[in-house]
Structure 1
Amino acid sequence: MPDLNLTNIFYTAYRLSPFILVSFFTLSSVLNQDLKGIIYLAGLLIACFASVIVGKFNIFTNPPSPTTSQVTICKTLNLTNGEPFSNLPLSMTVFTYTFGYLLYIIGLYGLASDNIMTIIFFSIIIIADWSWNIFFSCNSHTRLLGAFLVGSAIGISWSAIIASTNQVNLQYFNGISNKEVCSLNKNVKFKCVKSK
Structure 2
Amino acid sequence: MDWPDKMGFVQESIQPINRNSPLPERWDRVGGKGGENFTTLPHNGIPYTYDQRAIPYIENPAARHVGHFNNESYFESIDAVKSGNLEELNRIVVANGRTAISDSEFADFKAYYDDFQDRVQKFIGNTDTTYGVKGTAASWTSSSTGEKLMNGGAEQIVTPLNGEMLEIIGIIPKY
Query: Shared fold (TM-score greater than 0.5)?
Result: no
Higher relative contact order (CA 8 A, sep 6+): 2
What TM-score comes out, normalization by structure 2 length?
Answer: 0.26
Higher strand share: 2
Report the structure number with the largest CA radius of gyration: 1
